Amino acid sequence: MIDVLIIGAGPAGLSAAIYVQRSGKKAVCLEALVVGGQIVNTPEIANYPGIKKTSGFEFSMGLYEQATELGAEIEYEKAVSIEKKEDFHVMTESGKEFIAKSVILATGAKNRHLGIDKEEALAGRGISYCATCDGAFYKGKDVAVNGGGNTALEDALFLSNYCSKVYIIHRRDEFRGEPDSLEAVKSKDNVELVLNSTIEEIKGDKALEGVVVKDKNTGALREIAVAGLFIAIGQVPDNKDFEDVAELDAAGYISASEECKTKTPGVFVAGDCRTKSVRQLTTAASDGAVAALAACAYISTL
């Protein structure tokens, strides 16, 4: 019998696993993709208290080792449903069933897509959602990054080191990303900011050839020839499978208080998949701890 089944092995899920194991209970994490979640792709983390500088990969491996050395188990399975019987029965896409006394949803979020013609068809053929994974294919070429958050700025900085030219296409003239990152990007000779602009069209049939952007103020269209387009326009939640046990807000995030409790006693939520205003590594780790201790307290009442 599993004490706490954690759905997702990103920073929130692995932090929860550490706290569950340290409370003397058994934690199992189900992970559909890679341990560490989206932070794995971040080249540099410099805002996690107590760690001056690390990479997303190194940070994730540290979490993974800490959790598994404490006895947590990771199963590479995608959870698709949760049913409350005497305990919680969680089914996975491959048909496995996991039974646990309590569940923590730590599903994170997935990359938002632009939703325009050819985006899906040219994914992997010029269109990417991960500069650190795919950037090296574009050495010496012109590329564009779409977005104005920390991911877009970090991607642009990373790509500017070996691409000929990097365009940052952003729909506003102000950035959500940190001022330091923006300054670093602006100091690069091969980065051009294309502001107040949206991508209207993707060019190319077998591979990406360019994008057509529209200036929101003037309506003018401009075609930019690029071999790579890195879309970094934020994340969207993926919690539909769990709405029987956990209420979702209008945007699809799981509604829960700071105590990480859902509408179902015994089901908790942690990290970016929860309704919240600040989605950071620190808040994900913090949620993991809160949800884990709440789950252990719940189990002690059974």
Residues that bind ligand NAP in the complex, under the rule CB under 6 A: 42, 45, 47, 112, 114, 147-152, 154, 171-172, 176, 232-235, 279-280
Q: Which CB atom, from 68 or from 280, has the smaller least distance to ligand NAP?
A: 280
Q: Which CB atom, from 60 or from 92, has the smaller least distance to ligand NAP?
A: 60
105 closest CA partner among 241, 13, 243, 236: 13
Helix (H, G, I), strand (E, B) or coil at 19: helix
In the complex, residue closest to ligand NAP by CB: 149
Distance of CA 125 to the CA centre of its chain: 22
Q: How far is the CB of 214 from ligand NAP (least distance, A)?
A: 12
Helices and strands: H and E segment counts in the chain: 6, 17
Residue 132 carries which DSSP code? H
Token pair, residue 165, equals 């030219």
At residue 195's C-alpha, the angle toward residues 189 and 196, to 5°, is 175
Q: How far is the CB of 173 from ligand NAP (least distance, A)?
A: 10
Q: How far is the CB of 109 from ligand NAP (least distance, A)?
A: 8
Residue 261 carries which DSSP code? B
Phi, psi of 280, deg, nearest 5: -135, 165
Helix (H, G, I), strand (E, B) or coil at 158: helix
Q: How far is the CB of 115 from ligand NAP (least distance, A)?
A: 7
Active site residue 133: yes
Q: Which CB atom, from 234 or from 252, has the smaller least distance to ligand NAP?
A: 234
Q: What is the 3-state secondary structure (H, E, C) of 96-128?
A: CEEEEEEEEECCCCEECCCCCCCCCCCECCCEE
Q: What is the DSSP string of 132-143?
A: HHHGGGGTTSEE
> Using CB atoms within 10 A of its CB, is residue 217 exposed (0-12), middle (13-18) or buried (19+)?
exposed
Q: Which CB atom, from 22 or from 170, has the smaller least distance to ligand NAP?
A: 170
Q: Which CB atom, from 13 or from 149, has the smaller least distance to ligand NAP?
A: 149
Residues in the chain: 302
Token pair, residue 5, equals 């089944």
Contact (Cβ atoms closer than 8 angstroms) between residue 154 and residue 236: no
40 closest CA partner among 53, 21, 59: 59
Q: Which CB atom, from 102 or from 181, has the smaller least distance to ligand NAP?
A: 181
Q: Which CB atom, from 89 or from 171, has the smaller least distance to ligand NAP?
A: 171
Q: How far is the CB of 210 from ligand NAP (least distance, A)?
A: 17
Q: How far is the CB of 42 from ligand NAP (least distance, A)?
A: 5
Q: How far is the CB of 148 from ligand NAP (least distance, A)?
A: 3
Catalytic residue among 117, 133, 244, 249: 133
Contact (Cβ atoms closer than 8 angstroms) between residue 208 and residue 226: yes
Catalytic residue among 3, 134, 142, 272: 134
Catalytically active residues, by annotation: 130, 133-134
